[in-house]
Chain A
C-alpha cells in the first residue's frame, strides 16, 4: 500500500464506508477497502474546498467602494484570462472566461500545494492531468458543435473533398494527440520537478535544493499558464468560422 498523507488518512478514516459504497455502485474494483481514496484524490478535494471557500469569500465581500485584497486577486485573474481570451479568441470570448479562469486557478493551486510540506501536488499523478485534459477535450468539441452546428465536421475534412478521407483520419489522431500532450506536459513537469529537488536533496541536503524548489515554483506558474493558453487556443480553433 502506498504511503498516505495525513490528510488522506483523515479522509479515509472518516469516509471510507460511503466512498466504498459509491465505488461498488460504479463497479470499480477496490484495491484496499480501508483506504479507497488516493493521495491525489484527497489533495484534489482539498484544493476544491480551498477554491470554493475563496470564491464564496470573494462573493460575500464584493464591494465597489472599498475592494479588499481578495477581490483584487479575483479581478486580476479575471482580467488576465479575459485579456488572453480577447487576443486569441477575439469576438465572443466572454462565454469561456469562466471555464478558463477555473482551469488556471485549479491547476495553479494544485501545482503550488506541492510546495507545502506534508502535502503533495495531485498533478504529479498522471490521472489528474488526464482528467483535466479530457474535460478540456470534450468542452472544446461541445463548444465547436454549438457554434458551428453540423458544419463543425468541415474542420476535420480539409480544403479539398478528395483528400478528406485521409485528412479526417489525420485530424482525429491529432485531436487525440492533444489530450496526450496536455496530460504528459503537465504531469511530467510536476513529477520531474519533485524528482529533481529530491535528487539534489539526497546529494547535498543543505541550501542547494532550495534553488530547485524556486525553479519548481516558476515551472508551476508557467505550466498552469500553458495549460490555460492551449485550452484557449483549442477553443478558438473549434469556434472559428472558416467558411
Chain B
C-alpha cells in the first residue's frame, strides 16, 4: 500500500516535470502535454468541486429535514455556498481556456 503511494507520487511529480523536458522536444509534443495537463487539471477541479458541493448539499438537506421551517435562510446560504464552490472550478476552467487558446 505504502509502495503504491510512493509510486503514484513519483508518477505525479514526473507528470509535472515532463513539460520542462518537452521544451527542447518538438512543438507538437509540448502542445500535447498542454492538453493532457488541461484535462487532468479540469478533472481534479471538477471532481473536488463535486465532492465539496455534495457535502454542502447533504448538510443543507439534513438541516432542512430537521427544521423545515428554516427553508428560506438555508436556501439562500446553500445557493451562496454552491456558487462560491463552483467559482473555484470555473477559475480553473478559465485559466485552462486562456492557456489553450
Contacts and interface: CB of A to CB of B under 8 A. Distances in A.
A188 B89 CA distance: 10
Given A84-B76, A188-B90, A226-B80, 17 more contacts: A87-B73, A88-B76, A181-B87, A184-B91, A185-B83, A185-B86, A185-B90, A188-B91, A188-B94, A189-B86, A189-B90, A192-B90, A222-B79, A222-B83, A226-B83, A229-B80, A230-B80
Instruction: Please name the 3 residue pairs, one residue from A and one from B, whose CB atoms are nearest each other, closest first.
Output: A188-B90, A226-B83, A185-B87
A225 interface: yes
Interface of B: 72-73, 76, 79-80, 83, 86-87, 90-91, 93-94
27 contacts: A84-B76, A87-B72, A87-B73, A88-B76, A184-B90, A184-B91, A184-B94, A185-B83, A185-B86, A185-B87, A185-B90, A187-B94, A188-B87, A188-B90, A189-B86, A192-B90, A192-B93, A222-B83, A223-B83, A225-B79, A226-B79, A226-B83, A229-B76, A229-B80, A230-B80, A230-B83, A233-B80
Contacts of B91: 184, 188
Interface string A200-243: 00000000000000000000001101100110010000000000
Contacts of B72: 87
A181 B93 CA distance: 13
A187 B80 CA distance: 17
B9 to A, nearest CB: 31
A185 B49 CA distance: 14
Interface residues of A, number: 17
Contacts of B86: 185, 189
A125 B79 CA distance: 24
A107 to B, nearest CB: 13
B93 A188 contact: yes
Nearest to A83: B72
A87 B73 CA distance: 9
A111 to B, nearest CB: 14
Nearest to A222: B79
A222 B83 CA distance: 9
